A and B are shown apart, each in its own frame.
Chain A
Amino acid sequence: MANIKIDNNKQQHFEKIKAENLDFSAVLENASKVKKWGLKTYLLNGLVCLAILGGLLALFNKKKNTPSTNKQEVKTELYGFAAPLEDHKVGFEQYQVKLKTDEPTEVMTKEGTKIVIPSQGLLNQDGSPVKGEITVKYRSFKDLKTIMQSGIPMVYDSAGVARVFESAGMFELYALQNDKLLSIAKGKSVEVQMTSNHLGDYFNQYYLDPETKAWRYTGKDTAGSVSFADVQVYEAALDVELQKLEASKPLMPKRVDEQKPFIKLNFNQKAYPELAAFKDVRFQIHESEQNFDADYAKESWSNVAINRALKSEIYNLCFSKKAREELCFKTTPVVSGRSFNTSKRMADKMLEQYNQKRAAIKKARAEAKRYLMIRSSELEAQKDSNAQEIAAREFIDTAGISIQGGRMVRANLSASPIRVFRIMGFGIWNCDFPSKVPNPVVSKLRLADQNGTILDAPRMQVYVVDIKRNMLYGHRVQHAEIAARYNNEDEPKNMLWATLGDRVYYYSADDFNTLEVGNAFTKTIQLNQMSAKSFVNLTDDEIFNL
């Protein structure tokens, strides 16, 4: 833990030091004791050490670069797209499940996506129905980084017009038995309830055809059909969730003052989640409490009630017995000196978790608000005043909504919107919206590294990414030059990423804002770089703050 001391006289202190004579001779004398000024021995030793170190590093690197093969993983590559970061592909999650014969079999992935396989729904390669244990392989690509890592083309041909996908999430799914790929029976479909990080009712669903390697439109996204009312409910439920969370914000333990009165009680601590970190809890009589008398401890009490004012650190302890009126004392919860450190550590950890959860809810709420604002103005523009009400009523009728505190709340709210796919073939599916490739904004750029060396590599992949719309445009490098197209609408947030070997080069969001629009190759931009390993460990948000 840090230890900050405030010293507002620091500057004066430095002025004083500056005025003192700087005695270099003492430094020179001390240095002379350590070293005679002949460097040859040191250099020779240094070279020998470096040679040994270099050899060890070479051995280490050789070992590290040897590709590892996972014998357990069965190849399911129907598509053969080259991942731009070869050693950092998005891995599959594998689940071993036993198929139920008379009801659907469910698989819940780590991220909360549910896969429902109908009974008698899978076929072997010879067309016979599958029974027994199968392996389900699943991976998803929901943010810009993983979409880039996938190498999957995000361009859609809409009646001859190229469009770029704005993504609400994409997944790849296979089922196998005895290392052989299974298929979905005709007339059956596997339901995938994919969690999505992006709100919106304008997305479609697409299947990436393994034969043609082109995206095929399969229908409107189902989450969108109840959109406005759904998001209203979602927002209301987030409010409730936030209030509930804030009421249980962990309190920071304080050490008991043994010199002052305190009360020790056996009570159900689970009913007070804000005290969960308190080990060996006691209630110290509050300093403002005038009514406490130690003699009360000599009496026998039949009941005690613990009441806490909302978000307060003061707990009212009320003791009662049949023959006498209730006695209440203001107290604060504390812990014994012996348990203080353990309780403090636990409370710090819980507070961090609390803050993370709170920030996530607030972020989701802000996004819901933004969506509702945009969608309301769209509906307003349509001048269809009844549409919103009808949609909301229909939704209330069908989705099992209850009214709590004057607001609509749906039970079992999921933290992320769910996009429901009913798939009839295994492979890659997405829930995306094909946006127009931005035309008007073009910057012609030459790419260089930090030393100014032009990056002229035919194998280099270049992407302009747009975090606001979760879009990624691929660009081809020709003679180290690209013509970057991108959106620069309200408050754009673009970056340029380039991958080459095991390095990722990037042009930060701040730098990107300074790019000039033009049709001549006038600008050479210097890209920062990092290892692919470091890059894939960052979130989109962190990458956009580089």
Chain B
Amino acid sequence: MFKIKKQLISEVDQIKLAQQNPKDFEPLYKKYFLQIYKFVYSRIGSESNAKEITSLAFTKALVNVGKYKDKGFPFSSWLYRIARNEINDFYRRNQKQKCSVVSTEELFHLKDEIDVHHDHSDERMQKLVVLLNSLEEDEIELIELKYFEKRPYKEIAEITGLSESNVRVKTHRIVQKLKTKNNG
């Protein structure tokens, strides 16, 4: 009976409960752990580091959940934003070059966007990787969020702290740049 009651609680109410009592954060943790882990792993590429950073991100989220205010974005965007900051801290501390771990399947969507031939041969996919490697780190982040993780612009704006229109314009410019290079 108790379990059923818990499931019926809306996310907004669950956040309110967590703001009163940290133990009530657990359902939110369980709901979003895998999503945030995927996000982190795709930017770190190491299981142990990804687990540590995900754990740190949730710890910070729990510490700060009292300050969380609903601004019309999904709660997950707030978590992504914290995770993103942790990833940036990790790279700053370790002075490593940022990496992005993608599967070939994730690349297809972007490939179709920039290449009119829709050719998914190994050679063309390899070329796409070379092109992506020529991008700056902040540029690849927008590509990851839009094309690999297929997030709406509004959410990307919330995660990156940019305005929605800025995200749209920047992403458009990057795709144009890739198109030009790809067809050049």
Interface set of A (CB-CB < 8 Å, partner B) = 1-8, 10-11, 13-14, 17-18, 22, 24, 26-28, 30-32, 34-35, 37, 39, 42, 46, 249, 348, 351-352, 354-356, 358-359, 528, 530, 534, 538, 542, 545-546
Contacts and interface: CB of A to CB of B under 8 A. Distances in A.
B62 A359 contact: no
Interface stretch (B5-13, B82-90, B101-109, B113-121): B101-109
A13 B169 contact: no
B74 interface: no
Contacts of B152: none
A46 B33 CA distance: 29
A35 B64 CA distance: 9
B112 interface: no
A8 B55 contact: no
Nearest to A543: B169
Given A3-B97, A7-B102, A31-B63, A546 B165 contact: yes
Contacts of B177: 352, 355
Contacts of B47: 13, 17
A31 B173 contact: no
B106 to A, nearest CB: 8
Contact of B34 (A17, A348, A354): A17
Given A27-B29, A28-B26, A534-B163, 19 more contacts: A1-B97, A2-B132, A2-B136, A3-B97, A3-B99, A4-B102, A6-B129, A7-B102, A10-B42, A13-B47, A14-B41, A28-B62, A30-B56, A31-B22, A42-B67, A348-B134, A358-B180, A530-B165, A542-B169
Nearest to B98: A3
A14 B103 contact: no
B133 A3 contact: yes
B3 interface: no
Nearest to A530: B165
Nearest to B65: A31
Nearest to B143: A2
Given A27-B29, A356-B180, A4 B99 contact: yes
Nearest to A15: B34
B80 interface: no
B45 A5 contact: yes
Contact of B180 (A3, A8, A13, A355): A355
Contacts of B41: 10, 13-14
Contacts of B172: 542, 545
B81 interface: no
Contact of B101 (A10, A22, A39): A10
Contacts of A30: 55-56, 59
Interface of B: 22-23, 25-26, 29-30, 33-34, 37-38, 41-42, 45, 47, 55-56, 58-59, 62-63, 66-67, 97-105, 107, 129, 132-137, 139-140, 163-166, 168-169, 172-173, 177, 180-181, 184
Contacts of B137: 1-2
30 contacts: A2-B100, A2-B134, A3-B98, A3-B133, A4-B129, A5-B45, A6-B101, A6-B103, A6-B104, A7-B102, A10-B41, A10-B103, A13-B41, A14-B37, A17-B37, A24-B25, A24-B26, A27-B55, A30-B55, A31-B62, A31-B63, A34-B63, A249-B184, A352-B177, A355-B181, A530-B165, A534-B166, A538-B169, A542-B172, A546-B165
Contact of B33 (A6, A22, A530): A22
Contact of A18 (B34, B133, B140, B184): B34
Contacts of A35: 63
Contacts of A22: 29-30, 33
A39 B63 CA distance: 10
A508 to B, nearest CB: 9
Contacts of B62: 27-28, 31
A2 B45 contact: no
B90 to A, nearest CB: 14
Contact of B102 (A6, A24, A546): A6
Contact of A542 (B56, B134, B173): B173
A2 B66 contact: no
B133 A4 contact: yes
Contact of A46 (B58, B67, B168): B67
A355 B134 CA distance: 14
A354 B180 CA distance: 10
A4 B184 contact: no
Contacts of A28: 22-23, 25-26, 62
Nearest to A504: B165
Contacts of B102: 4-7, 10
Contacts of A32: 22
Contacts of A46: 67
A98 B29 CA distance: 74
Contacts of A249: 184
A4 B100 contact: yes
Contacts of B99: 3-5
Nearest to B105: A8
B134 A1 contact: yes
Contacts of B103: 6-8, 10-11
A546 B168 contact: yes
Contacts of A42: 66-67
B152 to A, nearest CB: 13
Nearest to B30: A22
A6 B98 CA distance: 14
A528 B165 contact: yes
B121 to A, nearest CB: 15
A24 B63 contact: no
A274 to B, nearest CB: 13
A6 B148 CA distance: 12
Nearest to B97: A3
A328 to B, nearest CB: 30
